[in-house]
């Protein structure tokens, strides 16, 4: 009788406890961010900055999935006319968000350099960047991630804006500075 009771208690415990362990996902929330693109022209050096990115990450079964998005119109280069032109050139009216997805093993979140494979959706196109290094620094309960995405205009079929008939450089590297908090 007691043995039967013990078995029942054990089964009940396992039934309740196992899903609890299975659901022990780690979640990350983007606390603050600074994303800046750099545009280079023989007569112009322009940086457009946005602090409007939002992001979340879920680590499940040893694998982490992160989603980060930022409105195209949130980038500020210090000149509203240029920003509107950038939105137009990058088809931001039709595709108003820049969306970045990345997946990597959870173990990588502990290393000082995270090599991420990025899927970037921008201007109605999708581009992939493999093995992009990001530096990780832990600050209390928060993790600061910095790095540069080696984006180019041609990756997203963006017609390069020109000034005095000279187009900007194809490279538009995007610097990333993000602070994530473990939830």
Partner 1 sequence: MKRKMEKIAAGVGIVILSLLTQSSLRAQTVATISGTITDSSRQVVPHASVSIEDVDTGQSIETRTDSAGVYTEPNLAPGNYTVSVAAEGLSTKTVKSKLTGATEQSIDLALNAAPPQQGNPANQLPAAPQPNAPNAPSNPPSSLSLQDLGFTSAQTQGSAQRQALLNKRTHMLKVHQTLGLITAVPMFATLISGPQAKAKGKNGQPITEPTSANLDLHIALGGLTTGLYFTTAYYAMFAPKIPGVKPKGAIRLHRDLEWIHGPGMIATPILGIMAYKQENAGEKVHGIASAHAPVAYATAIAYGAAIVAVSWPIHWKFWER
- Which residue's structure tokens are 């007569």? 43
Distance of CA 102 to the CA centre of its chain: 7
In whole angstroms, give the CA distance from residue 164 to residue 152. Answer: 21
Residue with smaller CB distance to partner 1, 14 or 159:
159
How would you classify residue 118: left for phi > 0, otherwise alpha for psi between -120 and 50, otherwise beta?
beta
Find the shortest distance in angstroms from Cβ 22 to partner 1.
14
Q: Of 3-11, 15-23, 79-87, 140-148, which part binds partner 1 (CB under 8 A)?
A: 79-87
* Pair of tokens at residue 92: 């931001």
Segment lying near partner 1 (by CB under 8 A), choices 8-16, 75-83, 140-148, 171-179:
75-83
Note whether 159 binds partner 1 by CB under 8 A.
no
What DSSP designation does 125 have? E
CB 26 within 8 A of CB 58: yes
What are phi and psi for residue 120, nearest 5 degrees? -115, 125
Among 34, 67, 171, 179, binds partner 1 (CB under 8 A): 67
Contact, 58 vs 65, CB < 8 A? yes
- Segment 97-116, which members bind partner 1 (CB under 8 A)? 97, 99, 101, 103-105, 108, 115
Residue 49 is a binding residue for partner 1 (CB under 8 A): no
- Residue 61 interacts with partner 1 (CB under 8 A)? yes
DSSP 111: S
> Site residues (CB under 8 A) for partner 1?
43-46, 54-56, 58, 60-61, 63, 65-67, 69, 71, 76-85, 87-89, 91-97, 99, 101, 103-105, 108, 115, 117, 119, 121, 124-131, 154-155, 163-164
């Amino acid at each position: 009788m007691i043995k039967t009771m013990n078995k029942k208690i054990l089964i009940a415990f396992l039934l309740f406890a196992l899903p609890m362990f299975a659901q022990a996902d780690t979640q990350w929330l983007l606390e603050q961010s600074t994303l800046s693109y750099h545009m280079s022209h023989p007569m112009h050096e322009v940086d457009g900055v946005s602090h409007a990115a939002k992001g979340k990450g879920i680590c499940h079964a040893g694998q982490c999935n992160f989603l980060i998005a930022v409105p195209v119109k949130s980038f500020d280069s210090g000149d509203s006319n240029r920003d509107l032109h950038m939105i137009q050139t990058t088809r931001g009216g039709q595709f108003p968000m820049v969306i970045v997805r990345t997946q990597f093993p959870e173990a990588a979140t502990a290393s000082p350099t995270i090599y991420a494979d990025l899927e970037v959706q921008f201007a109605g196109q999708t581009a992939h960047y493999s093995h992009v290094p990001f530096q990780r620094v832990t600050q209390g309960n928060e993790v600061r991630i910095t790095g540069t995405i080696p984006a180019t205009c041609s990756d997203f079929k963006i017609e390069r804006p020109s000034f005095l008939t000279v187009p900007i450089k194809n490279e538009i590297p995007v610097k990333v500075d993000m602070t994530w908090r473990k939830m």
